[in-house]
Amino acid sequence: MRGGLPVLAIIVAAAMSAFGQDAPPQPDPGDPGPLFRGQTVPSDATLIFKFDNPQLQPAKFQITLHADGKGHFISQVGEAPPADIADLPPEGQERDITVSDAAKTRIFLIAEKEHGFSGKCDAGKAKVAFQGTKTLMYDGPGQQGKCTYNYTSDAKLQWLTTEMLGIATTLEEGRRLAVMHEHGRLTLDAELETLAKLQQDGEATEIANIAPTLWEILADANVMDRARRRAQVLLDSDPSTAVH
């Protein structure tokens, strides 16, 4: 942790600052947006987002998404020392994920509108500090491409970048919460408060992917009531978590 935030969350905040926005776009969760309303996602397409920054933990991660909204996440730890020696040790993850219909629609239609990322993504001479190397890859009907960037000035790619970083932040928070629930319940309240703030600021997205961990915390009578209430609020924020 650094300043109360997971290291990965810091890069999300830095990215948003570089994009010139105080907070990422907050779309209606049931509306894919005016640019895409009425359009449909290709039935057979795959998008990959890769992130690499050796200064962070995890240092690398990859999100693979398919047109049905299902996907896979894998992260790797690097050699960077922990920001706080008292913090949880970094660990890699590998797990399946699912994104909401609204996010899926935006993600894949952006890929189509960007011609499968076959053009240039990076803003080039923009004076922006290194925030991590990002790579977008797309394989869809008649559209294939790949581009790599540190910073992009394209508003659609800014949203897509923030969304992908937000998914990774949520999954890392879920890992931390699971470890704390098993080994240090007294720290759960502060971590859940951090996650709630990240979600509020748009820096943690697709909370449903860690719903099982939140349900376990909520159901555990040995967890303090305030932490359980925070878990309940997070679960209530996403309708897809309503059925346990």
Are 26 and 142 a contacting pair, CB within 8 Å?
A: no
- pLDDT value, residue 183: 87
pLDDT tens string for the chain (244 positions)? Answer: 433 445 455 555 544 444 333 444 444 434 445 555 556 777 899 999 999 999 888 899 999 999 999 999 999 998 877 666 557 778 899 999 999 999 999 999 999 999 999 988 998 876 788 989 999 999 998 889 999 999 999 999 999 999 999 999 999 999 999 999 998 888 999 999 999 999 999 999 999 999 999 999 999 999 999 999 999 999 999 877 765 4
pLDDT at res. 78: 86
User: Residue 222 has what pLDDT?
Assistant: 95
Paired residues of 133 in beta bridges:
52
Q: Are strands 93-98 and 46-52 parallel, antiparallel or unpaired?
A: unpaired
What gap in Å lies between CA 81 and CA 32, rounded to an integer?
Answer: 40
Q: What does the alpha-carbon distance between residue 201 and residue 148 come to, in Å, rounded to a whole number?
A: 26
**For residue 94, what are its two tokens?**
């590998």
